[in-house]
């Protein structure tokens, strides 16, 4: 794909983003809504549109090479992702569940499940590749030093002459073996060619030729038929295409991407050098003139102000804007109003995130607040920046003639404008300091001329420095140690661990193709939530600083559901450092109270220095268990009090997250769990669709497995097992030796079933325990209360459900109703009886009333007589009093139709 292609893609994405921003501003301006069902569709539509736009911008940013465009696209990408996460958190508050669905909106936008999954920006790792490689090498060196990592044997590189000699030796040996085999076969043919008087040579040769032709033609025809059938199945999508069919195209596309990556790096380096060069040129050539102009401008303003007011002005401080603020055309109020958007965002970082916490606390507390409170959209931190990016695109790039820049290098005029403003701002600070001194001298001289006293210096600065309310910083227990030494200590003690490279796409599964229960998400839904809650905030500093802040997360699910793999995927996608503080990992390390204090200090300090960081806690329920088993020697309650403190000390701008995993979270004290973890993700056992997808996806990696292998049957048989059990089963069966035999002995279901039967499934009691536990989480409690409230409101209303007799007879228990009206009689009385029984089933607590409508002198009266006749026959059979045949007679039919 060319530069022009990505420029056109960007243009299309900008048009859609402009429309989306207009709709988003309208959404921000709406009043508080009590009908959450109505607002859910609007929020879900904005959420999906931002998701799609973000994926398009990510693809554009990954491949576009012009460095100045990349700055703007990166800004738009991060802010669109952040706005998408804000809307996601709004959906959680509206739906009272982590997973939201709205099929009507998906159909309206024409999206597929594949296009509804957010892509992890590739720049998270690619732009930090050198740093990550250096850290990995440093960790490997430490592990080799302590003997925890086997040294890789590095073979010496051969010279070109040595390589040629080895190739020649092997090639001559191969040719010798071939010639010896050829001579051996030639000798055998000569022996067979000797005349044999006992056999009729002509007849034997003819029969042999016919047999060979017969076998070969049959084989060739069958092979051709199989090939045509397979091509047809691949064409209509019934069979996945072979893995190697598009390999060449994929290789070419990957080569093109790597070429563009190199161009990006080269152009960025040229751009950075040009920034330094142009700034130096402006400073040297125009610095003196700019300084004089700024000073003359300020002095002129001083004179005009004194002439107009009779006194000298107060010079604003550097924080207040200095002379730029002083010389603004419309004064202080207009300048402050124009800078309110940026200053509000900057103050969140400078003020330690206090404003951000004050803004985000309502969003967090809304999960527990009153259910009757109307929903009001939270003020977005990203929408003003999106608007600013759209305006910048319109002013600078929209309609720009780039016909003279086909290579897409940087633009000198844009660099000059940018650096001219930077130099002017730097020089203005210097001139402002000089002007403050001049103004002070003028003030002293003016007071001396008037015979007055010197003015006292303002004590505002002193009062500002004595401002209270700032959080006291924790004492640094290791002030004299370098980051490398602390890192080495934690690696040596096994706290910082090396994790396997696990891409998030390895967590196999599709997004839901239709709305599902909140307690039964698909693996794709879980993968999507992990990206939104963990990977995006940890990977982007902008998203973390200004987006919804999640400091801790608990992933719960049965064994083999992929909890640890998800933690490794989070670290892999973001390039995070993994701190493992699970009870089995820290047992015997940093003993005593002082050792524990040092451990928590090291984790807190190093995780901030090397962020993004993930603090992993396996068996998250153990510190909060009421009674620890006597066989457990890991002292799991050691961190009971420190874990909530650790989460509390994580600031909103810190890209640090505590992630816990648990196989049995119901064993812990729920109050302590909620104090430690902000969000909870439950991974249920997979259903048929997820298992079928997993079997098909995992077996497709083995080329020897036939593409028509029935994975649906294995999905049925493996119902109740986790995807981890499926992975383990396949690895045990398809060994290296078995892979070599697949073409001769195809894989059978029996092999997989035997391996699967040795594994432990997820029992119904365990699944019920997970569901009961989730209902006790903050979100689960709120959802349960809302469902009870909706049920009570529904019971108070006069609701009517129209059902056919057949549907009412085979449907769910209708215990919510206690009035049944039978309008259409059926010739089979048992259907009516079954429909009546539905309102009597388990759960009915009210008196049931049944009305049966009948029109006299119609066929319905005849049907009633027939029903009574059949019921009499049934009663006679059951009681033994029947003395007549049970068949429908001619008299019955005549009576029915009045003949």
How does strand 819-822 pair with strand 613-617? unpaired
Among candidate residues 625, 649, 682, the one where a domain is terminated: 682
The residue with greater pLDDT, 249 or 704, is 704
The answer to whether residues 8 and 75 belong to one domain is: yes
Res. 613 pLDDT band, cuts 50 70 90: very high
Q: Is the pLDDT of residue 23 over 70?
A: yes
Least confident range from 82-96, 118-132, 459-473, 676-690: namely: 459-473
606: domain CATH number? 3.40.50.300
Q: Which two tokens stand for residue 637?
A: 């309650």
Token look-up 């089963």 returns: 729
The answer to whether residues 563 and 710 belong to one domain is: no
Give 308: exposed, middle or buried? Use CB within 10 Å, 0-12, 13-18, 19+: exposed
pLDDT at 843: 60
Examine residue 677 and state whether it is found in any structural domain, yes or no: yes
Is residue 388 within 8 A of residue 72, CB to CB? The reply is no
Contacts of 550 (CB under 8 A, 6+ apart): 533, 534, 537, 657, 678, 679
Among candidate residues 682, 709, 724, the one where a domain is terminated: 682
Average pLDDT over residues 724-740: 90
Beta bridge partners of 849: 819
Q: Is the pLDDT of residue 163 over 80?
A: yes
Is residue 531 within 8 A of residue 504, CB to CB? The reply is yes
The answer to whether residues 347 and 383 belong to one domain is: no
- Domain that includes residue 831, residue range: 797-896
Is residue 731 within 8 A of residue 763, CB to CB? The reply is no
Q: Which two tokens stand for residue 225?
A: 């038929």
Average pLDDT, the chain: 82
DSSP string, 289-317: HHHHHHHHHHHHHHHHHHHHHSSPPPPPP
Q: Which two tokens stand for residue 54?
A: 């973000």
Q: Which of 788, 792, 826, 827 is nearest to 808 (CA)?
A: 826
What is the enclosing helix (H) or strand (E) of 616?
strand 613-617
For the chain, the C-alpha Rg in angstroms (whole number) is 38
Tell me how many degrees the CA angle 631-633-634 measures, rounded to the nearest 5: 135
The CA distance from 567 to 535, in Å, is 10
Is residue 21 within 8 A of residue 83, CB to CB? The reply is no
Res. 383 pLDDT band, cuts 50 70 90: very high
The answer to whether residues 802 and 871 belong to one domain is: yes
Other C-beta atoms within 10 Å of 143: how many? 17
Token look-up 């576009």 returns: 64
Examine residue 156 and state whether it is found in any structural domain, yes or no: no
The answer to whether residues 591 and 504 belong to one domain is: yes
Least confident range from 94-98, 150-154, 353-357, 791-795: namely: 353-357
pLDDT at 810: 61
DSSP string, 544-584: HHHS----EEEEE--TTSSHHHHHHHHHHHHTPEEEE--HH
Packing angle between helix 340-350 and helix 383-392, nearest 10 degrees?
Answer: 130
Q: Which of 552, 786, 794 is nearest to 678 (CA)?
A: 552
Among candidate residues 682, 698, 715, the one where a domain is terminated: 682
Res. 730 pLDDT band, cuts 50 70 90: very high
Beta bridge partners of 552: 658
Examine residue 153 and state whether it is found in any structural domain, yes or no: no
What is the enclosing helix (H) or strand (E) of 433?
helix 412-450
Within a 13 Å sphere around the CA of 252, how many CA atoms are in the beta-carbon half?
5
The residue with greater pLDDT, 451 or 410, is 410
The residue with greater pLDDT, 332 or 117, is 117
Contacts of 610 (CB under 8 A, 6+ apart): 135, 483, 487, 577
Tell me how many degrees the CA angle 454-460-461 measures, rounded to the nearest 5: 105
Q: Which of 598, 614, 672 is nearest to 640 (CA)?
A: 672
Q: Which of 5, 18, 120 is nearest to 63 (CA)?
A: 5
pLDDT at 336: 35
DSSP string, 574-599: HTPEEEE--HHHHTTSS-HHHHHHHH
> For 341, phi and psi rounded to 5 degrees?
-65, -50
Beta bridge partners of 667: none
Burial 871-899, CB ≥16 within 10 A → b, else e: eeeeeeeeeeeeeeeeeeeeeeeeeeeee
The answer to whether residues 650 and 709 belong to one domain is: no
Res. 237 pLDDT band, cuts 50 70 90: confident
Examine residue 877 and state whether it is found in any structural domain, yes or no: yes
Contacts of 92 (CB under 8 A, 6+ apart): 98, 100, 367, 779
Is residue 239 within 8 A of residue 230, CB to CB? The reply is yes
pLDDT in tens, 801-815: 777 776 666 655 555
Examine residue 126 and state whether it is found in any structural domain, yes or no: no
% of the chain with per-residue pLDDT over 90: 26
Res. 529 pLDDT band, cuts 50 70 90: very high
Other C-beta atoms within 10 Å of 318: how many? 13
The count of structural domains within the chain is 6
Q: Which two tokens stand for residue 436?
A: 């403050």
The answer to whether residues 499 and 411 belong to one domain is: no
The CA distance from 869 to 886, in Å, is 10
The CA distance from 218 to 408, in Å, is 61
Is residue 694 within 8 A of residue 776, CB to CB? The reply is no
Q: Which of 492, 605, 618 is nearest to 567 (CA)?
A: 618
Q: Which two tokens stand for residue 800?
A: 């009517």
Examine residue 648 and state whether it is found in any structural domain, yes or no: yes
Examine residue 334 and state whether it is found in any structural domain, yes or no: yes
Least confident range from 17-21, 352-356, 412-416, 605-609: namely: 352-356
The answer to whether residues 431 and 543 belong to one domain is: no
Packing angle between helix 592-609 and helix 483-492, nearest 10 degrees?
Answer: 120
Q: What end-to-end distance do the CA atoms of the chain give, in Å?
A: 82
The answer to whether residues 377 and 275 belong to one domain is: no
Give all strands (DSSP E) within 1-58, no chain letters.
none
DSSP single-letter state for residue 474: P
The answer to whether residues 519 and 622 belong to one domain is: yes
Tell me how many degrees the CA angle 326-330-334 measures, rounded to the nearest 5: 95
Give 347: exposed, middle or buried? Use CB within 10 Å, 0-12, 13-18, 19+: middle
Average pLDDT over residues 368-392: 80
Examine residue 42 and state whether it is found in any structural domain, yes or no: yes
Is residue 711 within 8 A of residue 695, CB to CB? The reply is yes
Q: Which of 881, 506, 551, 868 is nearest to 694 (CA)?
A: 506
Res. 400 pLDDT band, cuts 50 70 90: confident
pLDDT in tens, 464-496: 434 444 455 667 788 888 888 999 899 998 899
pLDDT at 825: 82
pLDDT at 302: 82
Is residue 414 within 8 A of residue 396, CB to CB? The reply is yes
Chain centre distance of CA 696: 23
Packing angle between helix 688-699 and helix 723-733, nearest 10 degrees?
Answer: 30
The answer to whether residues 393 and 508 belong to one domain is: no
Q: Which of 702, 620, 633, 607 is nearest to 667 (CA)?
A: 620
The residue with greater pLDDT, 878 or 190, is 190
Average pLDDT over residues 874-897: 63
Tell me how many degrees the CA angle 489-492-495 measures, rounded to the nearest 5: 80
The CA distance from 762 to 764, in Å, is 7
Q: How far is CA 314 from CA 27, 202, 307, 435, 852, in A?
A: 43, 123, 15, 11, 92
Collapsing DSSP states into helix, strand and coil, what is residue 659? strand
Burial 358-370, CB ≥16 within 10 A → b, else e: ebbeebbebbeee
The CA distance from 766 to 769, in Å, is 5
Least confident range from 285-289, 366-370, 814-818: namely: 366-370
The answer to whether residues 615 and 661 belong to one domain is: yes
* Alpha helices for 626-748 (secondary structure H): 642-648, 670-676, 688-699, 711-717, 723-733, 736-740
Average pLDDT over residues 215-237: 88
The CA distance from 659 to 569, in Å, is 12
Is residue 462 within 8 A of residue 543, CB to CB? The reply is no
């Amino acid at each position: 794909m060319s530069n022009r292609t990505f420029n056109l893609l960007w243009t299309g994405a900008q048009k859609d983003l402009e429309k989306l921003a207009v709709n988003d501003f309208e959404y921000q301006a709406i009043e508080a809504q009590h009908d959450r069902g109505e607002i859910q569709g609007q929020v879900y539509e904005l959420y999906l549109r931002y998701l799609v736009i973000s994926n398009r911008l990510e693809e554009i940013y990954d491949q576009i090479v012009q460095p100045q465009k990349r700055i703007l696209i990166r800004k738009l990408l991060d802010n669109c992702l952040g706005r998408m996460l804000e809307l996601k958190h709004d959906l959680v508050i509206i739906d009272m569940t982590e997973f939201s669905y709205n099929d009507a909106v998906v159909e309206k936008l024409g999206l597929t499940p594949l296009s509804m999954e957010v892509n992890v920006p590739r720049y998270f790792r690619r732009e930090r590749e050198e740093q990550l490689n250096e850290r990995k090498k440093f960790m490997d060196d430490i592990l080799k030093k302590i003997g925890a990592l086997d040294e890789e044997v590095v073979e010496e590189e051969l010279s070109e002459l040595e390589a040629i000699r080895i190739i020649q030796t092997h090639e001559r040996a191969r040719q010798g073996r071939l010639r010896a085999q050829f001579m051996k076969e030639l000798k055998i043919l000569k022996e067979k060619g000797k005349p044999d008087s006992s056999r009729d040579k002509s007849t034997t040769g003819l029969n042999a030729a016919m047999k060979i032709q017969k076998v070969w033609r049959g084989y060739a025809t069958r092979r051709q038929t199989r090939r045509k059938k397979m091509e047809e199945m691949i064409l209509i999508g019934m069979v996945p295409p072979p893995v190697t069919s598009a390999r060449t195209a994929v290789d070419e596309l990957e080569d093109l991407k790597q070429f563009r990556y190199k161009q990006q790096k080269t152009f960025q380096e040229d751009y950075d050098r040009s920034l330094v060069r142009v700034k130096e040129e402006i400073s040297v050539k125009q610095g003196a003139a700019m300084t004089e102009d700024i000073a003359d401008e300020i002095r002129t303003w001083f004179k005009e102000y004194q002439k107009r007011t009779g006194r000298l002005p107060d010079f604003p401080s550097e924080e207040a804007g200095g002379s730029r603020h002083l010389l603004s055309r419309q004064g202080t109020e207009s300048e402050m109003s124009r800078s309110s958007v940026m200053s509000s965002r900057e103050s969140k970082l400078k003020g330690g995130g206090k404003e951000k916490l004050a803004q985000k606390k309502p969003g967090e507390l809304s999960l527990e607040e009153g259910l009757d409170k109307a929903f009001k959209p939270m003020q977005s931190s990203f929408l003003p920046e999106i608007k600013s990016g759209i305006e910048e695109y319109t002013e600078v790039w929209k309609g720009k003639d780039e016909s003279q820049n086909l290579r897409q290098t940087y633009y000198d005029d844009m660099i000059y404008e940018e650096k001219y403003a930077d130099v002017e701002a730097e020089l203005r600070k210097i001139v402002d300091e000089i002007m403050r001194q001049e103004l002070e001298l003028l003030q002293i001289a003016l007071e001396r001329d008037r015979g007055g006293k010197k003015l006292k210096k303002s004590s505002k600065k002193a009062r500002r420095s004595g401002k209270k309310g700032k959080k006291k910083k924790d004492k640094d227990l290791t002030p004299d140690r370098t980051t490398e030494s602390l890192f080495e200590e934690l690696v040596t003690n096994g706290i910082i661990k090396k994790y396997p490279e696990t891409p998030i796409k390895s967590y196999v599964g599709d997004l839901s193709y239709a709305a599902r229960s909140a307690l039964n998400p698909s693996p794709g839904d879980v993968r999507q939530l992990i990206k939104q809650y963990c990977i995006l905030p940890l990977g982007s500093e902008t998203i973390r600083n200004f987006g919804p802040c999640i400091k801790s997360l608990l992933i719960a699910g049965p064994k083999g559901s992929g909890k640890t793999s998800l933690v490794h995927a989070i670290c892999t996608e973001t390039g995070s450092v993994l701190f493992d503080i699970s009870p089995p990992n820290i047992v015997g390390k940093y003993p005593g109270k002082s050792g524990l204090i040092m451990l928590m200090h090291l984790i807190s300090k190093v995780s901030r220095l090397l962020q993004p960081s993930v603090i992993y806690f396996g068996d998250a329920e153990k510190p909060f268990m009421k009674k620890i088993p006597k066989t457990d020697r890991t002292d799991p309650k050691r961190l009971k009090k420190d874990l909530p403190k650790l989460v509390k000390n994580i600031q909103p701008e810190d890209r640090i997250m505590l992630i816990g995993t648990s196989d049995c979270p119901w064993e812990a004290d729920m109050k302590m769990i909620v104090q430690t973890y902000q969000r909870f993700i439950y991974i249920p056992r997979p259903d048929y669709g997820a298992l079928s997808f997993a079997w098909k996806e995992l077996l497709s990696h083995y080329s020897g497995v036939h593409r028509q292998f029935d994975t649906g049957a294995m999905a049925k048989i493996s119902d109740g097992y986790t995807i981890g059990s499926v992975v383990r089963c396949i690895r045990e069966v398809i060994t290296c030796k078995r892979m070599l035999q697949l073409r001769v002995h195809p894989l059978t279901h029996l092999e997989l079933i035997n391996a699967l039967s040795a594994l432990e499934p997820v029992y119904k009691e365990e699944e019920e325990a997970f569901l009961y536990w989730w209902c006790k989480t903050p979100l689960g409690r709120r959802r349960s209360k809302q469902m009870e409230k909706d049920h009570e409101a529904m019971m108070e209303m006069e609701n009517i459900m129209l059902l056919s007799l057949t549907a009412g007879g085979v449907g769910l228990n209708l215990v919510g109703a206690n009035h049944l009206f039978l309008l259409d009689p059926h010739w089979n009385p048992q259907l009516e009886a079954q429909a009546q029984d539905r309102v009597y089933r388990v759960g009915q607590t009210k008196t049931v009333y049944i009305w049966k409508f009948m029109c006299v002198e119609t066929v319905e009266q005849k049907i009633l007589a027939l029903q009574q006749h059949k019921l009499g026959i049934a009663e006679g059979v059951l009681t033994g009093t029947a003395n007549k045949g049970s068949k429908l007679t001619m008299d019955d039919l005549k009576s029915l139709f009045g003949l």
